[in-house]
Amino acid sequence: MSDATSNWHLVGPAGDIDEEDVMRFDLEDRTFAIYNTEEGFFATDGYCTHEDQHLADGLVIDTVIECPLHQGRFDIPTGKAKSAPVCIDLKTYPVEIRDGMIYLQA
Amino acid sequence: MTSRVVIIGAGHAGGRAALLLRSKGFEGEITLLGKEEFPPYERPPLSKELLIGIKQIEECFLVESNEWKDKGISLHLNDPADSVALDKKIVITNNQKSFAYDKLVFATGGQCRKAIFPGVHLSHVFDLRDIVDSNDIQRHLFPNQRVVVVGGGFIGLEVAAAAIQQGCQVSVVEMGERLLSRVFPPSVSTVIQDFHESKGVNFYLSDSISKVHGIESVGSVLLDSGKEIGADVVIVGIGLIPGTDLAENAGLLVDSGIVCNEFCQASNADVYAIGDCAKAFNHRSNQYLRLESWQNAEHQAEVSASHIMGESKAWDSVPWFWTDQYEMNIQLAGDMDLSSNFAVRGKNIEQGLIFFSVVDDRLCGAVSIAPGMKLAKELRVAQMLIEKDIKVSLDELNDPELRLKSLLKR
């Protein structure tokens, strides 16, 4: 969900995130979760929508991220909440890989 | 056809079942009967964040208070169910209101097991089950208060940690010879005791309270061993008695829990039981289990709501539990087999430790102890290894080079 004020930011080397895994990325006072999945790289808000918890500590299974605190699940590409206790969707952000580096638009 | 669901107990499980029924498209009447003054809330913060003041009561609520009305869920607080007539399919409350049902859900939780030592009725002796208890205790945790915790189980240890964080002098009295001896192997008990001692907790193991001294409020406690500990506050955490009286009086089958099949149906097909009060058949482990956990409240709410909606989703969860003590997060998946050998990954508690229990080449339980969520991912993989019944060996699990997640692809 980019808007007119969003810019592209360098996250780091794509090789830093194992396949089927997630990494935390902080940008000033915001935090994001950057994913490497079988369907490619994605980015969402970094905190679970249920309670403040870094999703980057959670487990990625296929294209689903599970919050480590209560095991609430979100679909990574769409940010959609998939199972209780989470019911509010995550915001998603565009990600691109250029020359092996990850860029995030936020 | 089901057009009226009555849920007895407006706690976590009951509240979640009501919300799930709505989200699954149930359009009939949902009535939620609660004995407390608060709308449904999650209990884990009561012995943790609420005690140290980093969370407010409202943050424990399952949903914002107005949502019950918005979702058309009729919430009756301060009015517990008093009797159930299974033949007439009616529930009568304390205030003599009656509610007819097509399907009934017991989510009656339980009550604290009461201590019986002399002096238990003095003021400043507390137990901890609900928000009111938590608030009462929280007011008494301040610097240099002498706090004696009775029971070295999860609640007792969480309260001890919170009291230390509030600057209290804390003693824990546990009748077992080590902490958490029914669920954890000795090596795990030792790790937990060590980090509590490093924070300043004094343990009195293989000991019990014989008497609490005091004029009006607590002054000291006398232990069976003859030791006497000065005390301003005594907090009792010695377990839960499942809330089964109402079900038993109604004529349902009860055996240390309301006995249910794998769909959480009790001995009457129109009646379900979920959460702390239910002893349901766990399809995966092929046995009846009564569990007291956040996960169990969630999962059995899901199983019962699904079944009411005509789906057949059997309860097959691998039990999962967490506790926070200071900065440490401890998680347990499955059951540790205390008679077998264990694999251990990790070098020290700062990096985090994870213990695995293997029986017949299958993982049956795993415990992680780590600062924050450092090992949450690994523990979750362990839970999935149990769920998927994947073959593993102690040697593999002991190998620090092995990427645990790779085992899932077997």
- Across the interface, do A57 and B376 touch by the CB < 8 Å criterion? yes
The pair of three-digit structure tokens given for residue B331, joined into one six-digit string: 């998680």
What's the CA gap between B408 and B88, in Å, rounded? Answer: 50
Residue A66: its chain B contacts at CB < 8 A? 380
In terms of average pLDDT, the best of A3-12, A85-94, B278-287 is: B278-287
pLDDT of residue A87: 82
Lowest-pLDDT choice from A67-71, B62-66, B195-199: A67-71
Question: CB contact, 8 Å: A2 with chain B?
Answer: no
Q: Which among A68, A84, A85 has the least Cβ separation from residue B373?
A: A68
- The chain-wide mean pLDDT, for chain B, equals 96
Q: Which residue has the tokens 């401890």?
A: B330
Average pLDDT over residues B349-376: 96
Q: Count CB-CB contacts under 10 A for residue B48.
A: 20
- Across the interface, do A57 and B374 touch by the CB < 8 Å criterion? yes
pLDDT of residue B395: 94
Given a cut of 60, whether residue B294 has pLDDT beyond it is: yes
Peptide bond into A85 cis (omega under 30): yes
- Across the interface, do B380 and A68 touch by the CB < 8 Å criterion? yes
What's the CA gap between A1 and B125, in Å, rounded? Answer: 53
Phi-psi region of B257 (alpha: psi -120 to 50; beta: other; left: phi over 0): left
Average pLDDT over residues B239-255: 98
What are the strands of the beta sheet with A92-93, ordered from one edge?
A21-27, A30-37, A40-45, A92-93
Q: Which residue of B has its CA nearest to A58?
A: B377
Classify residue B319 as exposed, middle or buried by CB count within 10 Å of its CB (0-12, 13-18, 19+): buried
What's the CA gap between B358 and B362, in Å, rounded? Answer: 5
What's the CA gap between A8 and A21, in Å, rounded? Answer: 22
Given a cut of 90, whether residue B197 has pLDDT beyond it is: yes
Residue B374: its chain A contacts at CB < 8 A? 57
Question: CB contact, 8 Å: A7 with chain B?
Answer: no
Average pLDDT over residues B79-87: 97
pLDDT of residue B409: 87
The pair of three-digit structure tokens given for residue B6, joined into one six-digit string: 């009555």
Residue A53: its chain B contacts at CB < 8 A? 373
Average pLDDT over residues B246-270: 98
The reported pTM is: 0.93
Q: Which among A53, A57, A87 has the least Cβ separation from residue B377?
A: A57
CB B45 within 8 A of CB B100: no
Q: Give the number of residues written for chain A.
A: 106
What's the CA gap between B266 and B279, in Å, rounded? Answer: 9
Q: How far is A58 from chain B, CA to nearest CA, in Å? A: 6
The amino acid that residue B377 corresponds to is: K
What is the DSSP secondary structure assignment for residue B324, as one 8-state letter? E
What is the DSSP secondary structure assignment for residue B265, as one 8-state letter? B
- What Å distances lie between residue A87 and A74, B13, B165, B170, B263, CA to CA? 9, 17, 33, 40, 24
Q: Where are the beta strands (DSSP E) in B120-270?
A: 125-127, 146-150, 169-174, 202-205, 209-214, 218-223, 228-230, 233-236, 240-242, 258-260
- Across the interface, do B373 and A66 touch by the CB < 8 Å criterion? no
Q: How far is A101 from chain B, CA to nearest CA, in Å? A: 25
CB B316 within 8 A of CB B389: no
Q: Place A4 in a pLDDT band, splitting at 50, 70 and 90.
A: low
- Across the interface, do B380 and A57 touch by the CB < 8 Å criterion? no
CB B77 within 8 A of CB B211: no
3-state secondary structure of B408: helix
Average pLDDT over residues B186-206: 97
3-state secondary structure of B134: helix
Average pLDDT over residues B71-91: 97
Q: How far is B35 from chain A, CA to nearest CA, in Å? A: 23
- Helix, strand, coil % in chain B, rounded to nearest 5: 25, 30, 45
Question: CB contact, 8 Å: A1 with chain B?
Answer: no
* Residue B323 parent element (H or E): strand B320-325
Phi then psi for residue A23, to 5 deg, are -135, 145
- Across the interface, do A66 and B380 touch by the CB < 8 Å criterion? yes
Q: Which among A59, A68, A84 has the least Cβ separation from residue B20?
A: A84
pLDDT of residue A42: 97
Q: Summarize pLDDT for B116-162 with one digit per residue, the tens.
A: 999 999 999 999 999 999 999 999 999 999 999 999 999 999 999 99
What is the DSSP secondary structure assignment for residue B130, as one 8-state letter? S
Beta bridge partners of A35: A22, A42
- Across the interface, do A68 and B320 touch by the CB < 8 Å criterion? no
